[in-house]
Amino acid sequence: MRPTPMLRNIRPQVPLGPFLLKSLPLLILLLAVEHYIGQRFLIGGDDQVDRCLPDKRIYLIDTYDKDIWRGDLIAFRAERMKPFFKDGQVIVKIAAGVTGDRVQVDSRQTRINGALLIEGLPLAEKLRKLPSTFKRDENIPTAAYWVTGKTPKSFDSRYWGYVYDHQVIGRAYAIF
Q: What is the pLDDT of residue 150?
A: 92
Please determine, for residue 146, whether its predicted confidence score (pLDDT) is greater than 90: yes
Write the secondary structure of 22-61 as one string of H (helix), E (strand) and C (coil).
HHHHHHHHHHHHHHHHHHHEEEEECCCCCCCCCCCCEEEE
The predicted pLDDT at position 2 comes to: 64
| Report field, pTM of the whole predicted structure over 0.95 | no
Higher pLDDT, 144 or 20: 144
User: 16-68: per-residue pLDDT in tens?
Assistant: 888 888 888 999 999 999 999 999 999 999 887 778 898 889 999 999 999 99
Residue 73 has pLDDT above 90, yes or no: yes
Q: What are phi and psi of 172, to 5 degrees?
A: -110, 150
